[in-house]
Structure 1
Amino acid sequence: MSAIYLDNQATTPLAPEVFDAMVPWLRDKFGNPHSAHVPGRQAAAAVEAAREQVAALLPSGGRVIFTGSATEAINLALGAVRNLVGQGREQIAVLDTEHAAVRDTALWYGSQGFETRLLPVHSDGLADLEELEACLGQNTALVGAMLVNNEIGVIQPVERIAEMVHRAGALMLCDAVQGFGRIDMPEQADLIALSGHKIYGPKGIGALWVRNGIDMPPLIHGGGQEQGLRSGTLSPALCAGLGTAAKICAERRDTDMAHITALAEKAHDLLGDWTVNGARDQRYPGNLNIRRDGLDVGRLMSDVREVAFSAGSACASGSGRPSHVLAALGLSSAQIKSSIRLGFGRYNSMEEVEQAAHLINQAAEKQ
């Protein structure tokens, strides 16, 4: 029997409609979208149609750049600071709870002559806006704040943060991977990163939305494809998959949210002895990060193999490092090691959530 899948923050199942949209471009319509002949132009048209589907969920006044992942999109976005060095803007500030794609890349820039600041959050995971205000200055080039935290589901006040950042004359980067297709995108952000496989689309593709007027240096040099910013042949199949996934998210947004909220409420009721990590109200309901003091999560995951859930970010699970997100909330090492993340999605059923909660509670009680 396959496991009950409750790790939708790590990745989501491929929607059947997305698979169907990709097949023709994998099997029959194999033209290079950068070629001038008829098959190439057909492939290019598919890419542009997908670009419009993705753009429909993003603010107006910008352009969509396809990338190989959200991590690549974030690296491309952070590259914008290189054009600001001559203006004396050499500070990058990001929330301490950012995904490693933002946090570690910003720290790398700190080794390249930039000043990198990790901004603190309150114990509920929400940004400390007073600390942000104190940090901002004429040397600030870019500030990064994710829309929905991938580990604890907290929704940051990105619009308010963007207002503060713009008053300082800096750029605002938003990692919207966990929010794209689910909640409104921040209208005031300058750069927005997203991923295909978090919205029931394919792995291997992401996108960066860039506000008009922002000058971006290339990330990948070569043939100049994809607006001269990341050379290499685009995959029409992956683009079509992301576009279709975005379109379905737009169509099903209210239905999906109601369903996922109901699943989360049921799980919260059944796991009432656990403590929620992060804000209780200002959060995306599909992410439930909880802890039970004294619990050995490694043993719990081994004992509950019938359920696929996580102890934190998939990107950090193999590193052996404790969660920097939970540490930023002020949790002790023991509390971090007793925390789990449950991620609910479109294709989960109420029966699955009930069974999973029963199995997790049963195994925890045995400890």
Structure 2
Amino acid sequence: MIYLDNAATTKPCRECVRAVTETMENFYGNASSLHKMGTASINIINRAKQAVLKGLSLGGAPLEGDVIFTSGATESSNTALFGLNLRLGSKIVTTAMEHPSVARTIDRLAERGYNVVRLAPKDYADFEEAIINAVDENTSLVSCMAVNNETGFHVDVKRLYKAVKAKNPRAFVHIDAVQGFLKIPLDGDVISASGHKIHSSKGIGALYIKKGIALAPLLSGGGQQKNLRSGTEAVELIAGLEAAVNAYKYDFERFSELKNRLVGGISAIDNVKLNSDEKCLPNIVNFSVRGVRSEIMLHSLEQHDICVSSGSACSKGKTSGVLSAFGVSDKDADCALRVSMCAENTPEEIDFLCEKIAEAVKRFRR
């Protein structure tokens, strides 16, 4: 099996599997219990928090603040966006490339009376500058993803955070770091992260909360995690996340070599358009094989045990708004593919993929 859909989910690494198993077998105490088994669980949670804080800064000074653990990035983003004390009727600046877990949540805030401004990358040469320029004295929130899941387009969030705070210190900054965690340096008032995108397990996410930022809890109950996220902590999943964070290495040069190999291979095929440019991280490559619909190409590649994804993410016949935010036409979005790589992928797998795409084009192109 050639798995090239790592932006959707990743295979749990050995370190994660081992940590989850050992914790389930040996450290199954409730973290709220006062005995030594409870203390052992608390120690695991605190150790994982430090690993996440260190990972957010990517080698720099660890960010100041706290981390709570959630069921995933969807819960993390909902907790952040609904939990911040936003001034009613104020302005929210966000982008047209956001994941539905953020975009739909901001839609709900708009229904409550907030003025939402959405910016598209296709309209600006300097996207960070465009977001900064949209911030004014009435802005209460800026919400932006660090790395786009469909194209790999990335935002300099450290620059963005610093500039937004300089322009309006009262504005909160939320960063969706699902695809950017452990890949680029991050900063923000609240930052969402997911375990299963970095070779941890599904069902575990994290939310960074900068020192001094107050959040209202999304979930009420026993008051766990400083009353920010009630519910007994899944210590085994938290241990697995820590192990995955510590094991993860993002090799930019190697991914660049694989991307160049892929781009070279598909460029030899007539009428293929690249949708991921130099502003995109190299582990995600989006391109349109014109004349062959995504679904047809996916099923053709599947016959050769190749797993990629559709770049169009169609819903009820509607083309992906995310790709259109990057200037991709509906017609090209309908035949878009996303190849997303991990450290285990090889040049030979990329060559085989290109070979099978070329064969499918000869067979199915209309």
| TM-score w.r.t. length of structure 1 | 0.90
Which residue of structure 1 aligns with residue 281 of structure 2? 284
Which residue of structure 1 aligns with residue 80 of structure 2? 77
Are the counterparts in 2 of residues 67 and 208 from structure 1 also a CA contact under 8 Å? yes
Which residue of structure 2 aligns with residue 18 of structure 1? 16
Are the counterparts in 1 of residues 294 and 310 from structure 2 also a CA contact under 8 Å? yes
Question: 1:329-340 counterparts in 2 under 5 A?
Answer: 329-340=326-337
Which residue of structure 2 aligns with residue 223 of structure 1? 222
Deviations 1:240-276 (A, max 9, x none): 0111111112xx34xx333322222211111114222
Which residue of structure 1 aligns with residue 190 of structure 2? 191
Are the counterparts in 1 of residues 83 and 217 from structure 2 also a CA contact under 8 Å? no
Which residue of structure 2 aligns with residue 212 of structure 1? 211
Which residue of structure 1 aligns with residue 253 of structure 2? 258
Which residue of structure 2 aligns with residue 304 of structure 1? 301
State the identity as a percent. Answer: 32
Which residue of structure 1 aligns with residue 36 of structure 2? 38
Change in CA separation of 1:237 and 1:318 when aligned onto 2, cut-off 3 Å: farther
Change in CA separation of 1:90 and 1:339 when aligned onto 2, cut-off 3 Å: same
What CA distance in whole angstroms lies between the structure 2 residues aligned with 1:125 and 1:308? 33
Q: SS at the partner of 2:66?
A: strand
Q: CA deviation at 1:282?
A: 1.8
Letter in 1 for 2:106: A
Letter in 1 for 2:98: E
What CA distance in whole angstroms lies between the structure 1 residues aligned with 2:317 and 2:244? 33
Deviations 1:14-73 (A, max 9, x none): 101111111022233211111111211111111111111111112421211111101111
Out of 353, 358, 364, the position equivalent to 2:355 is 358
The answer to whether structure 1 residue 65 and structure 2 residue 68 are counterparts is yes
What CA distance in whole angstroms lies between the structure 1 residues aligned with 2:209 and 2:247? 23
Deviations 1:188-221 (A, max 9, x none): x211111100001111011111111111111100
What CA distance in whole angstroms lies between the structure 2 residues aligned with 1:163 and 1:230? 28
Q: SS at the partner of 1:39?
A: helix
Are the counterparts in 1 of residues 48 and 242 from structure 2 also a CA contact under 8 Å? yes
Letter in 1 for 2:29: G
Q: CA deviation at 1:338?
A: 1.4
Which residue of structure 2 aligns with residue 178 of structure 1? 179
Q: SS at the partner of 1:145?
A: strand
Q: CA deviation at 1:123?
A: 5.7
What CA distance in whole angstroms lies between the structure 2 residues aligned with 1:241 and 1:89? 41
Which residue of structure 2 aligns with residue 96 of structure 1? 96
Change in CA separation of 1:49 and 1:317 when aligned onto 2, cut-off 3 Å: farther
Out of 5, 26, 29, the position equivalent to 2:27 is 29
Change in CA separation of 1:25 and 1:297 when aligned onto 2, cut-off 3 Å: same
Aligned-pair RMSD on alpha carbons?
2.0
Deviates more, 1:223-232 or 1:163-172: 163-172
Letter in 2 for 1:154: F
Q: SS at the partner of 2:159?
A: helix
Deviates more, 1:10-19 or 1:296-305: 296-305
Are the counterparts in 2 of residues 190 and 211 from structure 1 also a CA contact under 8 Å? yes
Which residue of structure 2 aligns with residue 54 of structure 1? 52
Letter in 1 for 2:9: T
Letter in 2 for 1:361: A
Are the counterparts in 1 of residues 10 and 197 from structure 2 also a CA contact under 8 Å? yes
Q: CA deviation at 1:318?
A: 6.1
Out of 267, 272, 283, the position equivalent to 2:262 is 267
Which residue of structure 1 aligns with residue 59 of structure 2? none
Count of residue pairs the alignment pairs up: 352
Question: 1:155-174 counterparts in 2 under 5 A?
Answer: 155-166=154-165, 167-169=167-169, 170-174=171-175
Q: Which runs of 5+ in 1 are unaligned?
A: none
Are the counterparts in 2 of residues 125 and 154 from structure 1 also a CA contact under 8 Å? no
What CA distance in whole angstroms lies between the structure 2 residues aligned with 1:242 and 1:165? 31
Q: Which runs of 5+ in 2 are unaligned?
A: 57-61
| TM-score w.r.t. length of structure 2 | 0.90
Letter in 2 for 1:257: F
Deviates more, 1:155-164 or 1:193-202: 155-164
What CA distance in whole angstroms lies between the structure 2 residues aligned with 1:161 and 1:319? 35
What CA distance in whole angstroms lies between the structure 1 residues aligned with 2:124 and 2:8? 22
Q: CA deviation at 1:128?
A: 6.7
What CA distance in whole angstroms lies between the structure 2 residues aligned with 1:242 and 1:124? 36
Q: Post-superposition, which runs of at least 4 consecutive aligned residues in structure 1 deviate over 4 A?
A: 123-126, 316-320
Are the counterparts in 2 of residues 125 and 329 from structure 1 also a CA contact under 8 Å? no
Q: SS at the partner of 1:84?
A: coil
Are the counterparts in 2 of residues 30 and 43 from structure 1 also a CA contact under 8 Å? yes
Are the counterparts in 2 of residues 92 and 140 from structure 1 also a CA contact under 8 Å? yes
What CA distance in whole angstroms lies between the structure 2 residues aligned with 1:33 and 1:19? 21
